[in-house]
A and B are shown apart, each in its own frame.
Chain A
Amino acid sequence: RKEVEQDPGPFNVPEGATVAFNCTYSNSASQSFFWYRQDCRKEPKLLMSVYSSGNEDGRFTAQLNRASQYISLLIRDSKLSDSATYLCVVNMWMIYNQGGKLIFGQGTELSVKP
């Protein structure tokens, strides 16, 4: 089983749609969780951290369910510029004590159409 698994995608949605991405992780001792965005042929960029209480940043809402080992990302009112690959990422910081070892999911591709 992969350490971090995501919806396979791709997701093709019209502008203005709401889209949700799901992610599960296998190690219950994982401590920190993130969503990164990666544009084609570029490095990943941090979109937002994910906290147990849930957090929102504009049109983006992230949720963490530790009991189910499940992470989600909701994008409302999607824009053309949201088209990218979204990576679910777990930080193994506390487990390996190596200053932030990130484990990436395989990514979910989002394409927002006019």
Chain B
Amino acid sequence: GAVVSQHPSRVICKSGTSVKIECRSLDFQATTMFWYRQFPKQSLMLMATSNEGSKATYEQGVEKDKFLINHASLTLSTLTVTSAHPEDSSFYICSAPRTEVTNEQFFGPGTRLTVL
């Protein structure tokens, strides 16, 4: 089946550091990928839609200058948390639909970010 990978799986960093998270579709191309954030005991919240070759679309309340998204190729999207602070500590998950005409989405294994 389709696989989506994320790297790194876990990051612990100091406040003020920028952290880059990669999301890759391993056996299919994804012109669109999605980035979610999940705080403890809460559900996944969509942060932004990553579009290959164009700007990302951010959900209301998500700072585009803080969460930089780059969809450089049909198999790779990156999320950079700039100047991370402890309140950015969360579980970040990406997903990708296999094609743009199917409802099936595949999730990456997630990246757990801890900002000290």
A41-B91, A43-B93, A44-B107 given; A103·B46 CB < 8 A: yes
Chain A residue with the shortest CB-CB distance to B6: A43
A42 within 8 A of B: yes
In the complex, number of A-B residue pairs with CB atoms less than 8 Å apart = 54
Range class of the B interface residue count: 20 to 34
Judging by beta carbons under 8 Å apart, are A100 and B32 in contact?
A: yes
How many chain A residues touch B (CB < 8 A): the figure is 22
Per the 8 Å Cβ criterion, residues 35-60 of B in contact with A are 36, 42-46, 49, 57
Judging by beta carbons under 8 Å apart, are A87 and B44 in contact?
A: yes
The stretch of A52-60, A61-69, A70-78, A91-99 in contact with B is A91-99
A22 within 8 A of B: no
Cα A91 to Cα B97 with chains together (Å): 11
The interface residues of chain A lying within 8 Å CB-to-CB of B57 are 98
Cα A87 to Cα B42 with chains together (Å): 11
Judging by beta carbons under 8 Å apart, are A99 and B32 in contact?
A: yes
Which residues of A line the B interface, CB within 8 A?
A: 32, 34, 41-46, 49, 87, 91, 93, 98-107
**Top 3 nearest A-B pairs by Cβ distance?**
A99-B32, A100-B97, A43-B107
Which residues of B line the A interface, CB within 8 A?
A: 31-32, 34, 36, 42-46, 49, 57, 91, 93, 95, 97, 100, 102-105, 107-110, 112
